[in-house]
Amino acid sequence: MPVQLTMPKLGLTMTEGVLSRWVAREGQEISKGQMLFEVETDKLVMEVEAEAGGVLHIAAEEGTTVPVLGVVGYLLTPGEEPAQIVSSPKDLAGDDFRTEITPPAPPPAEPIQRRLVSPAARRRARELGADIDQVQPATLVGRATAADAEAHAAQAEKAPEPIRVPVSGRWPDGLRDYQWWTVQKAVDLFTHAPAFIGIYSYEHSTNRPAGHRNVLFLKRGAPLRPIDRERKQEDDLPPNMWKWWEEHVFTQPGQKSVIVPHTFAAGPLADWNWPNARFDCLLEMYQGARGSYEAYKLPDKEKRGPTQVDEDGHYARNALAKGNIYGFVSFSDHGSTHNSWAGVWVLKEDREGVLDGIYARHTFAASDEIITKVTASGHMPGDEWKASGGKAPRIEANITAMDRILRVDVVKDGKYVYTMSPDGRTAAKLNWRDSEAKPGRSCYYVRVFQRDPENPDGDPEIAWTSPFYVTYQ
């Protein structure tokens, strides 16, 4: 029996997706877990893997828009020919013939309620632009008259227009007050500190130059920032967002908040033309559903995912080169909860401790459970300090990984200055000091490459520590 390959549902509001690329070929013998094709929506590009084995038969070409659960191909058993499969428009509508369930008969139709409408009422409704089906007669047993049509039109003119203020997105896809309330309520329901600590947060979706930014809060009741990202370009400027935060978020008693630029080199793009606000403090270096955004045109074995924009100026190293001070973190978005790891060093295991750790930039980003414990002469990742006498700090790291560690780098001011290979072990130690420190500010971060246990020949798993910012005097 053929196994259908269907368009997956990657979000609650997703109704269709574009089959952007076939990774596998027509007639190729497929194993369970092998990558088959890529799906593109308005927010992500995601690879879909086989849940069974078989010989691939392609039913939807690249670039085809397919509804959720619509058929894009089949996995055939050995000896089965594609001609045995009957494809029809119903397939692309998502009918799953494997279930072989006869649909129930439709319920009996409700008796048609015939409304009495005079010809004059129909004519008058057309003249006034009124919907005759909405015109009610003055009496329950009477028929709608021209006077009833006039009364309906007059009442419609008095009805206020609905308020349509885009909030965090383009109407109608922006977050609303009630939705935000339910999100915050869900955080409370799932929080069970210290085992699980939920964070009140949402994605603030502007266009370039701010791009999308995740915003996190300590307390419930944080306001939503109303924007119109299409028609008010000033709403897309980072300084205006920061100013709004100072006026509306930090004026709430006891409130704390941090902002994290998100998929900044995939789109909508972020520009780094303004010194970042202190609370705009982390960069989402990696998101499992898309890719990593460390630097422009990195080699294939030094990045993850295919979504990096072919335009310099939007990457993490670009932000640091312009004097911005950021830490690094990895967040999940769509279908990537367990391959996007945000490590935060905290002083107390509660929501405030997590927010304080993020604000201090005491973080690391990883695509797998790669634990990077790194210090620089007693300073934590993300710290900023002055070093007198030009003496460089000693960077020490203890690293543990889920698979073989391929390489450990120290990156200084956007350049690799030290590399070590742990010979395939799952643990490594680093001890290094810069022998070429010069007056001025330098930033250092540690980067770890681990073999991907699910795809050993593919992109490596990667971890990045937040930079150390040292000013040599």
Q: Tally DSSP H helices, then E strands, for the chain.
A: 7, 25
pLDDT recorded at residue 320: 97
Residue 87 sits in the same domain as residue 181: no
CA distances from 71 to 9, 25, 176, 271, 403 (A): 13, 17, 34, 40, 36
**Contact between 57 and 72 (Cβ < 8 Å):** no
Q: How far apart are CA 3 and CA 73, in angstroms?
A: 9
Residue 123 DSSP code: H
Question: Is the residue at 165 inside a domain?
Answer: no
**Contact between 395 and 410 (Cβ < 8 Å):** yes
Structure tokens at 358: 């993020």
Residue 234 sits in the same domain as residue 370: yes
pLDDT recorded at residue 150: 82
pLDDT recorded at residue 375: 97
Residue 232 sits in the same domain as residue 366: yes
At residue 32, the 3 state secondary structure works out as coil
CA distances from 323 to 275, 326, 391 (A): 7, 9, 22
Question: Is the residue at 322 inside a domain?
Answer: yes
Q: What is the 3-state secondary structure (H, E, C) of 132-177?
A: HHHCCCCCCCCCECHHHHHHHHHHHHHCCCCCCCCECCCCCCCCCH
Which of 43, 73, 99 terminates a domain? The answer is 99
Task: Name the burial class of residue 8, with classes exposed (0-12), middle (13-18) and buried (19+) by CB atoms within 10 angstroms of its CB.
Answer: middle
Residue written as tokens 């391959």?
A: 339
pLDDT recorded at residue 169: 40
What CATH number does the domain containing 32 carry?
A: 2.40.50.100
Residue 185 sits in the same domain as residue 283: yes
Which of 99, 132, 162 terminates a domain? The answer is 99
pLDDT recorded at residue 258: 98
Question: Is the residue at 149 inside a domain?
Answer: no
Beta partners for residue 433, in sequence order? 394
Question: Is the residue at 172 inside a domain?
Answer: no
Question: Is the residue at 111 inside a domain?
Answer: no
Dump the DSSP string for 8-25.
---STT--EEEEEEESS-
Q: How far apart are CA 305 and CA 284, in angstroms?
A: 14
Domain that holds residue 16: 3-99
**Contact between 465 and 382 (Cβ < 8 Å):** no
Which of 75, 99, 123 terminates a domain? The answer is 99
Task: Name the burial class of residue 299, with classes exposed (0-12), middle (13-18) and buried (19+) by CB atoms within 10 angstroms of its CB.
Answer: exposed
pLDDT recorded at residue 174: 55
Q: How far apart are CA 201 and CA 196, in angstroms?
A: 15
Residue 288 sits in the same domain as residue 416: yes
Question: Is the residue at 51 inside a domain?
Answer: yes
- Pick the closest to residue 319 from 369, 264, 373, 383 (CA basis): 264
**Length of the chain as a residue count:** 473
Number of domains in the chain: 2
Dump the DSSP string for 393-456.
PEEEEEEE-SS-EEEEEEEETTEEEEEE--TT-SEEEEEEE-SS--SEEEEEEEEEEE--TT-T
Residue 223 sits in the same domain as residue 328: yes
Question: Is the residue at 104 inside a domain?
Answer: no
End-to-end CA, the chain: 73
Residue 77 sits in the same domain as residue 188: no
**Contact between 450 and 460 (Cβ < 8 Å):** yes
Pairing assessment for the beta strands 327-330 and 282-287 based on DSSP bridges: parallel
Question: Is the residue at 270 inside a domain?
Answer: yes
Residue 89 sits in the same domain as residue 200: no
Residue 200 sits in the same domain as residue 87: no
pLDDT recorded at residue 389: 75
Residue 91 sits in the same domain as residue 184: no
Q: How far apart are CA 79 and CA 2, in angstroms?
A: 11
Residue 80 sits in the same domain as residue 212: no
Residue 466 sits in the same domain as residue 361: yes
pLDDT in tens, the chain (473 residues): 788 999 988 776 788 889 988 989 898 999 888 889 988 876 667 788 888 899 999 999 998 999 999 999 999 988 787 655 544 434 444 443 333 334 444 444 444 344 566 767 777 887 777 777 778 777 655 677 888 888 877 776 554 444 344 344 443 345 677 889 999 999 999 999 889 999 999 999 899 999 999 999 999 999 999 888 878 889 999 999 999 999 999 999 999 999 999 999 998 899 999 999 999 999 999 998 889 999 999 998 999 988 899 999 999 999 999 999 999 999 987 777 778 899 999 999 999 999 999 999 999 999 999 999 999 999 999 999 999 877 899 999 999 999 999 999 999 999 999 999 998 899 999 999 999 999 999 999 999 999 999 999 999 999 999 999 999 98
